[in-house]
Structure 1
Amino acid sequence: MFGFKKKEPEQTPDNKQFKELAAQYLPGELTLLAVTGANGFGGGKTAKEKLWRASIGLTAWMEEDSPDIHRGEFVLSTIADDRLLGVLQRRAPQDFIIKFKGRVSEDGKRLLLLDLPEPGFDPDLKAILEEQKKPVTFWEEGLGTFTLNRQVDWFETELDWLRTEISLTIDMEEDREEALRNAKTLLASAADWDKRVRAYAADELVSLANDWSQDMDEDGETPTITREQFMERMELESIEIGGDGSFTFWFGDGDLFYGHSIRVSGDLENGPDDASMEG
């Protein structure tokens, strides 16, 4: 299908999309082995494109007849319709060794998939795979054990926030020491921050919640949601904290927006400064 065909197909918009992608790679076709990362195949496309630009992250790859292993962050891509994307997601899952025909970009960071991947094996790649699957954790007094979530590249822990268990997350790119210090500052005044964040969200979004409620009310008998009711119905689920003092609170909406999320962001110095309904 598309670039997977052996003979030169008739020029079509679908084939043209693949050719435009293939032009970014060196011409030589290679038999390759690779280790997939924490996420499987995903796809994206613009409004004008009919097909998916399907891609998956790799952590290592090698030519089948070469001992040289390339390690780092790489992307394997192709063009796919809905059916092919589903096949690729099944045949190349996360944390797996695959074998496939492909082409490589000049810098070796991007690979082009030319056929359906199949399970592969190499002892050195197997060792890399086993190492990357090991949990990465650290413990911080007062906050508990953080575990790296490789799918989103952040550290997360569960903690008690005013008798509610929530998730606290720190992005891998953040200054960890500063982020942990800021998390403890936030937690030390949890009751005050909880009230401030909820009040800000209510002030910003209660009118929108009432608009939603009226739009969904066929009988016109739904009572107006008050500011206090809005604050009470918000269900805190997680907090993201940054090394610069920035934070984002994520709430379940308590059915205020019929199953969406409420996001409130700001920083420790100035307090909350943005609120929105998400999802």
Structure 2
Amino acid sequence: MDLLEYMRSQNDMTQAEWERTFEEEAKEILVLLAGGSGAGKMNGFWDVSHYFIAYVDCQTGALHTGDGRIVYPVSDEESDAGGILDRFRREAVYRLKARKRIPHKIPEGVTASSQNQFLIVEVLEEDAPCPALEEVLAEYRRPVVLNDEELGELSLDKDLDMFEGGISWRGEDIDISLEVDSSSEDTWTAAVAAMKQMMTDQDRWDRDMRAFAARELTQLACEWRESADEEVPEITEESFAQRIELTSIAMDPDGSFSAYFDDDDMFFGHCVVVYGTLADGVASAVMAG
């Protein structure tokens, strides 16, 4: 089963089918929440997730570190009422009775945290004391900074799995983000190397990204121009390529990148995003935002 088929099969589950993917017996755990939250529309209900970075099995006392999720279903009515992501606080320890996800085969591209899930049966305690998890939290809060001679200072946002910083690109300051696995320093090294490779040939990349975006989006920009309330200059591929302004680049360890350009109001304040890889060049360009 490929990734798309897998995602469709998950989203097609009813609530009863989804709950059967968890063990029948509930266990008591202490869980440290960090890394955000989210909700996905399923077949007749919403799957709400809050991310954790460690938990303790209360029966054995064993500490388990690694990304995971506590999950629970909510109805469409509850979702429409709002606030479904406000039930739990980040960087807090909760004592829960919960059912562990039954291990199953997943295709490449599915995050490990999707396997490491607990379905909440009952919330037993908030701000539960747990020295082991308090140590994990202290380490999680410790700032992680990379200093590179070319890229400068890069700070790790552990919730987003992303190093953030800024560079000079053809004489102008832009933001950069390196999307990594916080727990794998190999991905840090690879993302830094990929960004530096792009910087080495920045004149060519800048030219190629602008030219590709102009070819793909000039006609759309002309259509938007026709709906403007005031008279605006004619847009050609040449002027489009000159007017857009690079503001940031997001780089993956494998050399995939997203480059974000200011649209100079050609799309009334939306942005232009160019996608590609260092190996194969620019692949697509869209208006977004």
User: Same fold by TM-score, threshold 0.5 exceeded?
Assistant: yes
Superimposed CA distance per residue, residues 175-220 of structure 1 (whole angstroms, 9 cap, x where no aligned partner): 5545434433432443443233212211211101112232x3468x
Out of 201, 205, 220, the position equivalent to 1:193 is: 205
Larger CA Rg, structure 1 vs 2: 1
Q: Which residue of 2 aligns with 1:160?
A: 168
Tell me the CA shift for residue 230 of structure 1.
1.9
Among all aligned residue pairs of Structure 1 and Structure 2, give the percentage whose two residues are the same amino acid.
28
Aligned pairs (5 A) from 1:7-156: 17-39=14-36, 41-46=37-42, 49-64=43-58, 66-81=60-75, 87=83, 89-107=85-103, 109-116=116-123, 118-156=126-164
CA root-mean-square deviation: 3.0
Q: Deviation of residue 98 (structure 1)?
A: 1.8
What is the count of residue pairs matched by the alignment? Answer: 259
Partner of 2:7: none
Structure 1: how far apart are the matches of 2:119 and 2:136? 22
Q: Distance in 2 between matches of 1:153 and 1:163?
A: 28
**Alignment CA distance shift 1:271-1:84 (3 Å):** same
TM-score, normalised with respect to structure 2:
0.76
Task: Supply the distance in 2 between the matched residues of 1:124 and 1:80 (Cα, whole angstroms).
Answer: 31
Tell me the amino acid that sits aligned with residue 143 of structure 2. Answer: P
**Contact map agreement 1:248 1:265 (CA 8 A) in 2:** yes
CA distance in 2, matches of 1:198, 1:245: 19
Q: For residue 88 of structure 1, report the CA deviation from its aligned partner.
A: 5.2
Partner of 1:13: none
Unpaired segments ≥5 residues, structure 1: 1-15
Deviations 1:130-150 (A, max 9, x none): 111222222111211222222
The alpha-carbon distance between structure 1 residues 234 and 73, as it changes in their structure 2 partners (threshold 3 A), is same
Confirm or deny: 8 A CA contact 1:209 1:257 kept in the other structure: yes
DSSP-derived class of the 1:91 partner: coil
Give the secondary structure class of the aligned counterpart of 1:21: helix
